[in-house]
Structures are given as structure tokens and as C-alpha cells.
Amino acid sequence: MMPSFSYVRPGTLQEAVQHLSAKGAVVHGGGTDLLTCLRERIVDVQKVVSIQGLKDLYGVKETAGGGLRIGALTTITEVAEHPVIRERYPGLAQGAAEVASPPLRNQGTIGGNLCQKPRCWYFRGDFHCLRKGGDTCYAPFGENQFHAIFGSGDICYIVHPSDTAPCLSALNAEIEIAGPAGRRLLPAAEFHVLPEDYVMQETWLAPGEILTAVRLPPPPPGLRSTYRKVRARRSWDFALAGVALALQFDGDRVAGGRVVLSGAAPVPWRSRPVEDAVIGKTLDRQTIAAAAQAVVADAEPLAKNAYKIPLFRGVIEEELERISRP
């Protein structure tokens, strides 16, 4: 039913890192994704390392510089409901609120949401695909209605399943990592791996490394952030298409910011064409229409996911309109 594995629950970060350096060791945070991965035997597990005993990984704290540090074990519900996050980074709170279903949000953690495995049914199912060490990707000629329209590199067509990752990337957050070589920080936008870089891993965490926290910079002046997600049913579902906006407004004009898509690519997908279309402009009808065209200009749909072209246009149009009216 499940592979046999040992289970440890270290009390210090150092011990945890040591355990995780062993072959076949995996992190157990909230466990919502790990449990299904074990049952579906898509990860080769010998040791499950619970990090739930690491106190420093819990909670949301304001940092000296005016930003926020969100511990990796903070639940998705806590992120969605935290008053400071809702006030200063509403896009992130919205992203968290759109995750899965209430029970999963209560159990799942922000760290786990960033590190979760993709939902591609060939990857999850009984198919020896490229991402599991096989020699083929089944998506391009198969049932690809939920697959990527960007960034596959013609190698692997998963879409990254996280709703919080695009928000963090748009908000210019950093990922705090602890590992055998000490601590390091990585921009959220650089945390996930494109298939062309390495097809068998979704994050740049090295063996033994743990995601310990997410750090948000102080909100720049005029920041407005939102997250919008479209799915096939209204709860307990991943994005067909979504967009995280974090735009700095100078009056009516967009002075800067980022646009990151979900449900689009193997990683949270930064849409430079949309950013180029809106930065320096006021969000009038023309600008929004141009941005909506731009979002899918480089898209490469497969046989069954071409609906994502009009869908992303619609999402961008709707969401830019919404953010233009504070």
C-alpha cells in the first residue's frame, strides 16, 4: 500500500538537515501532499523527516526592515487570514485563500505549498514518465487539457500547482533555506526549476536543504496586489489559469511591478509581455486590451489546452480592470 520507511522527528534544524542529507529522505511538513505521493509511490522514500518539532519554522513575524517573515510551517489558513498579510500583501492572502479546500488549508503549510509535487496525471499515475526517470513525456500526444502552454521546453508539460508561489514571486519575496552548508536566500522567482534545467526536480533545494521561511520585502509605495484563479470546479481544484499581480501605482499610472501566471507553465510564469504592456501606462481600455493580447503572444498550446489562450486573455483583462479600481 505504501513503501516502508523510517520516521524521525528531530528537535533542531541541524539534526533535521543531517537526516535529510541521507538518500531517500523527504520532509514532512503538513503532509497533505507527501501522503498522496507515498500512496501513489511517486517518490522513492526511505526516511520521512518530520520538521514539525522545529519551533523557528512557525508563525508570521514583522522584520526589522519593515517586511514579514512567514515560517515554513505556517498553515495556508493562517496566511490567508493574517491581518498584516491581508492589509499589506492582499494578493498573497487571496492566493492562500484559493488553495484547495478548507481542511487542506488548515493542514497544509506555506513551505509545502511551494515544494509540492505537480498534479500531472501521467506523473501521479501509473506511467513511467520522464519526471520519474522514464524516457518519455505522455502529455504532448495524450490527455493534455490541464497542461502547460509556456516553458515546457518540449520536455515536460506540467503546470506548477502552487497558488501562493506566483503571488510570492510577484511580490518579490525571498525563500529562506537552511542546509548542510548553512543558510541562504533565494528570490522566490528563482526557486522553481524549468524542465530544460532539470526535469526530475521542481525546486532548487539541494539534498539536506529545508525551506525554513518566506521573507516579504516591505511593500513599496503605491503597491496593489491581487490573485485571481480560474478552475474547473469552484473548490478543491488547481488553477486552469491564474494571475498574481503586484503593481506599483503612481496615481493612475503603473510605475512598476510584476505579473506572474499560474496554471501556465512548469514554474510560476512571469509574464514580461504583460509587464511591458502595462508599466508606464495608465490602465485604460486600450492598455488592458494590449496586455490581454500580449499575455498569450508566445503561448504554445497543445491539442487539448488551446482554451487557455482566450482564458488567459480574459483573466488578464478582468484582473487588470479590477486592480485599476482600488
Which residues of this protein are in contact with another protein, per CB under 8 A? 1-2, 36, 101, 119, 121-122, 124-127, 138, 141-143, 145, 230-238, 240-241, 306-311, 314-315, 317-318
CB of 304 to another protein, least distance (A): 8
CA distance 141 to 118: 19
Q: Report the greatest alpha carbon distance in the chain.
A: 59
Q: Which helix (H) or strand (E) covers residue 215, if one does?
A: strand 210-216
For the bound state, the minimum distance from the C-beta of residue 188 to another protein, rounded and expressed in Å, comes to: 25
Contact 217, 173 (CB under 8 A): yes
Please, which residue, 256 or 314, has the CB nearer to another protein? 314
* Contact status, residue 179 vs residue 223, Cβ threshold 8 Å: no
Smallest gap, in angstroms, from Cβ of residue 234 to another protein? 4
Considering beta carbons, is residue 281 or 322 the nearer one to another protein?
322
Q: What is the 3-state secondary structure (H, E, C) of 110-140?
A: HHHHHHCCCCCHHHHCCCCCHHHCCCCCCCC
Nearer to another protein, 71 or 242 (CB): 242
Q: How far is CA 67 from CA 48, 61, 84, 119, 289, in A?
A: 33, 9, 10, 32, 34
User: Measured from the CB atom, is 60 or 241 closer to another protein?
Assistant: 241
CB of 159 vs another protein, minimal distance in Å: 14
Least distance from C-beta 1 to another protein, angstroms? 4
Name which of 5 and 58 has its Cβ closer to another protein. 5
Q: Look at the chain and count its residues.
A: 326
